[in-house]
Amino acid sequence: MSKLKGVRGAPDILPRESSRWQRVEDAARAVLRRYGYAEIRTPVFERTELFVRGIGEGTDIVEKEMYTFTDQGQESLTLRPEGTAPVVRAYLEHQMAAQTPLVKVFYLGPMFRRERPQSGRYRQFHQIGVEAIGSDQPSVDAEVIALLSALMVEEFRIPDVQLRLNSIGDAACRPQIRDRLLRYMRDRGAQLCPDCQRKLQRNPLRVFDCKQEGCQRLVAEAPKPLESLCQSCADHFAQVRGLLDLLKIVYTIDDRLVRGLDYYTRTAFEVVNPRLGAQNAVAGGGRYDGLIEVMGGPSTPGIGFAIGLERVLASIPAEAAGEGVREGVYIATVGQEAHRTGLLLLQELRHRGVRGLIDLEGRSLKGQMRQANKERVRYCLILGGDELTKRQATLRDMAKAEEQPVALDQVVARLLKLEQSGKS
């Protein structure tokens, strides 16, 4: 029979890679906790309607990229392509606003989009995202952006990472922003790519992020949202910037940075790693003061971001992710009696929280030592026949290649002590 393969663009995360993932996820969770965000876990599928409304008809995601299926109950369901719409649904469904006026949550997990797979772009990928729902205060924008910066710069230490910031106006000034853009495009629109010509009708701001050279040239001279902000949007943006400056968060203004739909308002931002090549956006976010109403709730402001974890991992130098760290103990034994003693020690060590390994395949001592090295343990405990009669074992420090005898009844205490000192 032919071998089955996984789905294109939906890579496996193999055991040799998963510890890097866990380290990044654990580090992110710790930072998110420090900023007061609690985890929310929504299902990986939702009613299709949720994403059609929450992401918007006329977007690439809704038009071309959703994994949608009809289940046996004839319901149209979609694998989540992003996290904000499900969070807003849960926020409304569980009346989370009743508990606290500003709800701060984060999510972490797989997303699904049927994009053309390429380096850095997958059909199943993972995001860490946050949403802060319930306040339009500039201090919330600043905190959310500060959090993103803390993750990217301080925690993940991505070299050369850039934070770009813009404001795209709100319900009051958006009509004017659109009008000015459409007026500019009236005589020039024919030079836009066919995709942008279509976008110009539905969500004209989207032409700003087209990567085509012709469109780029055209929008370079186009009137930007930032130039037509109403007073309250301009004030809001100035306050956000003031707070970021106070916190010494480095950013650049990118007046072409947009989010296309009407319910995205004011602050828009993204994080770019220029070293990543074509798919260089590591995170994106912004304010969505119109979204909750679109989702059937009362008018409620909100802001959030999503980080692409595959791109974070591709951006982190291997050492920074803690590669090569040695941990735990391998118990190498010679003879059946030593193996039985080893098993008991192993059980005790594992019970006390130590990572412990033993040979399960009948390897020679040499083979076991080789295995211990491969497993990157810090210590190897050698139990031979001679040593056993003396109620002793040999403890080998794998990094220093130093050995010393230890009394069998002292082994657990000694290893626990060494583990402790290794961690501090």
Binding residues for ligand AMP (CB under 6 A): 82, 113, 115, 121-122, 125, 127, 281-284, 306, 308, 310-311
373 vs 92: CA distance, rounded Å = 53
Query: The dihedral of CA 71, 76, 82, 87: what is its sign?
Result: negative
208 vs 104: CA distance, rounded Å = 30
> CA dist 311 to 84, 120, 317, Å?
19, 6, 12
Task: List all residues 6 or more positions away from 256 whose beta carbon is below 8 Å from its beta carbon.
Answer: 166, 208, 209, 219, 220, 224
Nearest approach, Cβ of residue 11 and ligand AMP (Å): 10
Closest CA to 291 of 145, 151, 83: 83
Nearest approach, Cβ of residue 93 and ligand AMP (Å): 22
Q: Whose Cβ is closer to ligand AMP: residue 190's or residue 278's?
A: 278
Q: Whose Cβ is closer to ligand AMP: residue 91's or residue 122's?
A: 122
Nearest approach, Cβ of residue 82 and ligand AMP (Å): 5
Q: Whose Cβ is closer to ligand AMP: residue 133's or residue 349's?
A: 133
Q: Whose Cβ is closer to ligand AMP: residue 215's or residue 309's?
A: 309
Name the residue with the smallest CB distance to ligand AMP.
308
Extended strands (E) in 294-346: 302-308, 329-333
Task: List all residues 6 or more positions away from 290 whose beta carbon is below 8 Å from its beta carbon.
Answer: 171, 262, 263, 264, 265, 299
Task: List all residues 6 or more positions away from 202 whose beta carbon is below 8 Å from its beta carbon.
Answer: 58
Q: Whose Cβ is closer to ligand AMP: residue 178's or residue 311's?
A: 311
Closest CA to 82 of 118, 46, 33: 46
Nearest approach, Cβ of residue 113 and ligand AMP (Å): 5
> CA dist 278 to 95, 117, 273, Å?
41, 12, 10
287 vs 130: CA distance, rounded Å = 12
Nearest approach, Cβ of residue 317 and ligand AMP (Å): 18
Extended strands (E) in 309-346: 329-333
Q: Whose Cβ is closer to ligand AMP: residue 152's or residue 388's?
A: 152
Nearest approach, Cβ of residue 271 and ligand AMP (Å): 7
* Furthest C-alpha separation in the chain: 94
Q: Whats the size of the chain, residue-wise?
A: 424
Q: Whose Cβ is closer to ligand AMP: residue 82's or residue 327's?
A: 82
Q: Whose Cβ is closer to ligand AMP: residue 118's or residue 364's?
A: 118
What is the residue-wise DSSP string for 162-183?
Answer: EEEEEE---TTTHHHHHHHHHH
The DSSP bridge pattern shows strands 265-272 and 76-79 to be unpaired
Nearest approach, Cβ of residue 217 and ligand AMP (Å): 25
Nearest approach, Cβ of residue 192 and ligand AMP (Å): 22
Q: Whose Cβ is closer to ligand AMP: residue 289's or residue 310's?
A: 310
Other beta carbons less than 10 A from residue 310's beta carbon: 20
Q: Whose Cβ is closer to ligand AMP: residue 121's or residue 326's?
A: 121
238 vs 241: CA distance, rounded Å = 5
Nearest approach, Cβ of residue 397 and ligand AMP (Å): 41
Q: Whose Cβ is closer to ligand AMP: residue 5's or residue 116's?
A: 116
Nearest approach, Cβ of residue 264 and ligand AMP (Å): 11
Nearest approach, Cβ of residue 35 and ligand AMP (Å): 19
